[in-house]
Amino acid sequence: MSEKNNNFFQDVWEVVKLIPKGRVASYGDIAAYLGSKNGARMVGWAMNASHMLEDVPAHRVVNKKGLLTGKHHFDETNKMQTLLENEGIEIIDNQIQDLDKVKWNPNTELL
């Protein structure tokens, strides 16, 4: 951590913060919005750093399958699922149901 790292991370967090309640975004879409084609991995890495932030709903960020891959990184293992269910998202076995409804694309809806 030097000083210039916040650029990419801040951008990721900004997009994540824009995710509407009851919706979820995928790493790939966020990465694509940032300009990185395959930078999805780094988005997840940015999420890891977002733990020290409060305004970043990392629980709304899932993989393209709608699977809560990063739930294990939360304070509590089922915290992520609980938060999503609290927003009206149905989740079964770490898999988001009705993903097509809750799916949110920054490039499409965040124009």
Partner DNA sequence: TAACTGACCGCCG
Partner DNA sequence: ACGGCGGCCAGTT
Contact call for residues 33 and 109 (beta carbons, < 8 A):
no
| Interface with DNA, residue 105, by CB under 7 A | no
Q: Measured from the CB of residue 88, what is the shortest distance to DNA in angstroms?
A: 20
For residue 22, state whether it binds DNA (rule: CB under 7 A): no
Residues 57-96 interacting with DNA (rule: CB under 7 A): 58, 61, 63-65, 69-70, 72-74
For 19, other C-beta atoms within 10 Å of its C-beta total: 21
CA atoms within 13 A on the CB side of 8: 16
**Rg, the chain, Cα only:** 13
Q: What is the contact surface with DNA in residues (CB under 7 A)?
A: 1-2, 5, 8, 26-28, 36-45, 47-48, 50-51, 58, 61, 63-65, 69-70, 72-74
